[in-house]
């Protein structure tokens, strides 16, 4: 459990540091946000609204435990300014 908490805090720290500085996300100034599950995608849309360009990867009926990123998903991740995912092995291949 302690190892998981340490890993979580490390990932959060890296994400915060990566978000510091840099240029605007794009010409419109909107962040490109990618989320994995529908619940996380809904939360992003409800919190950020039209201030972000949000992309959800897993549609209804897709089991996130069996998720394996496709080449298109990898491209989407690479173009994103931030990625939201549940972790704790819900999205099997994201860890």
- Does residue 57 contact residue 72 with C-beta atoms inside 8 Å? no
- Lateral strand order in the sheet of 82-84: 52-56, 31-35, 82-84
pLDDT at 31 over 70: yes
The 10s digit of each residue's pLDDT in 60-82 is: 777 777 777 778 888 888 999 99
Ordered structural domains, the chain, with CATH:
25-95 (3.40.50.1980)
Residue reference for tokens 């302690």: 2
pLDDT at 22 over 60: no
pTM of structure: 0.61
Distance in angstroms (rounded) separating the CA atoms of residues 36 and 60: 11
Confidence band (pLDDT; 50, 70, 90) for 47?
very high
The DSSP symbol for 24 reads -
Residue reference for tokens 């972790």: 87
pLDDT of 92: 61
H or E segment and range at residue 91? none
Q: Which phi and psi (to 5°) does residue 43 adopt? A: -65, -45
Average pLDDT taken over every residue of the chain: 78
């Amino acid at each position: 459990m302690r190892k998981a908490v340490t890993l979580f805090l490390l990932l959060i720290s890296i994400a915060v540091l990566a978000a510091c500085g840099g240029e605007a996300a794009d010409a419109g100034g909107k962040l490109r946000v990618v989320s994995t599950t529908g619940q996380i995608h809904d939360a992003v849309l409800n919190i950020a609204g039209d201030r972000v360009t949000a992309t959800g990867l897993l549609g209804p009926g897709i089991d996130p435990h069996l998720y394996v990123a496709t080449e298109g998903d990898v491209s989407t991740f690479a173009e994103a300014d931030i990625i939201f995912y549940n972790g704790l092995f819900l999205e099997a291949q994201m860890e």
